[in-house]
Amino acid sequence: MFTATEAVPVAKVVAGNKRYPGVVALDNVNFTLNKGEVRALLGKNGAGKSTLIRMLTGSERPDSGDIWIGETRLEGDEATLTRRAAELGVRAVYQELSLVEGLTVAENLCLGQWPRRNGMIDYLQMAQDAQRCLQALGVDVSPEQLVSTLSPAQKQLVEIARVMKGEPRVVILDEPTSSLASAEVELVISAVKKMSALGVAVIYVSHRMEEIRRIASCATVMRDGQVAGDVMLENTSTHHIVSLML
């Protein structure tokens, strides 16, 4: 169990800038994420959230500024930057899930890394690995179940379990509950809390303030490509957060 005794940065953006033709996407952005922290990333559409996420995952290079994962500066050409970010432990789960519906849960969790024995896929080992991963997050589905038979919430949890299988430092969840009913949201909240307890840092993107207050301890609020404020949620009113966004 991870216990936060002091702030240990696992991801940083230092003076990050990004411009597109006619648009300033990020303007001198500084952002820090600590080990085991659940940090909400808030802002209207076009505020810069997606650009910041793409920089952290390596799918977008800053025009200037530095990205750090742990003590390593994220650098390289566009062809290798995303792979390098993944190697350093950055994972993301987007609104559009990437599970293969015709495969089992275990096959999806181990996709591209199927265990082998005597040159053949070791399905028993695959199921055991998947079960351990699911249990760590409290996901109550069978490794042998076809993904196509799962509920939307179960699919979301399997997607989260898949990124956790690689023992990440940072997991970015982009609107993970946007299509879920309130009862299903509880399953995602529980999984995120377990991730935090394991020391994984989580960036949580959502527009649901009640949900954010239950799951995150702090928030970075963005507006017009800039950080409008970094706040501790227990000490900050929703009215003030909305005023920062506007």
d(C-alpha 36, C-alpha 139), whole Å: 20
d(C-alpha 44, C-alpha 8), whole Å: 29
Nearest 5°: phi and psi at 203?
A: -100, 120
Six-digit token string for 79: 């062809």
Sign of the alpha-carbon dihedral angle for 36, 182, 160, 174: negative
Q: Domain holding 30: CATH number? A: 3.40.50.300
Examine the domain organization and report whether 83 and 172 are in the same domain.
yes
SS3 171: strand
Of the residues 134, 164, 194, which one is the last residue of a structural domain?
Answer: 164
Residue-wise DSSP of 103-131: SBHHHHHTTT---EETTEE-HHHHHHHHH
Whether the CB-CB separation of 104 and 56 falls below 8 Å is answered with: no
Examine the domain organization and report whether 73 and 172 are in the same domain.
yes
Examine the domain organization and report whether 142 and 207 are in the same domain.
no
Mean pLDDT of the chain: 93
Q: Which of 115, 187, 186 is nearest to 158 (CA)?
A: 187
pLDDT digits (tens, 9 = 90+) for 129-169: 999 999 988 899 999 999 999 999 999 999 999 999 888 99
What integer pLDDT is reported at residue 5 of this predicted model?
A: 43
H-assigned helices in 137-171: 152-165
Examine the domain organization and report whether 79 and 195 are in the same domain.
yes
Whether the CB-CB separation of 197 and 2 falls below 8 Å is answered with: yes
Of the residues 164, 187, 220, which one is the last residue of a structural domain?
Answer: 164
Of the residues 105, 140, 164, which one is the last residue of a structural domain?
Answer: 164
- Burial-class residue 98 by CB neighbours within 10 Å (0-12, 13-18, 19+): exposed
Examine the domain organization and report whether 184 and 154 are in the same domain.
no
Whether the CB-CB separation of 17 and 195 falls below 8 Å is answered with: no
Examine the domain organization and report whether 127 and 46 are in the same domain.
no
Examine the domain organization and report whether 28 and 85 are in the same domain.
yes
| Residue 80 DSSP symbol | T
pLDDT digits (tens, 9 = 90+) for 23-64: 999 999 999 999 999 999 999 999 999 999 999 999 999 999
How many domains would you assign to the chain? Answer: 2
Six-digit token string for 138: 């409290």
Examine the domain organization and report whether 156 and 183 are in the same domain.
no
Q: Please determine, for residue 6, whether its predicted confidence score (pLDDT) is greater than 80.
A: no
Q: Tell me which residue range forms the domain holding 130.
A: 96-164
Element (H, E) at 133: helix 123-136
pLDDT digits (tens, 9 = 90+) for 56-111: 999 999 999 999 999 999 998 878 999 999 999 999 999 888 999 999 999 999 98
In this structure, the chain runs to a length of 246
Q: Please determine, for residue 174, whether its predicted confidence score (pLDDT) is greater than 90.
A: yes
Whether the CB-CB separation of 55 and 225 falls below 8 Å is answered with: no
Examine the domain organization and report whether 178 and 79 are in the same domain.
yes
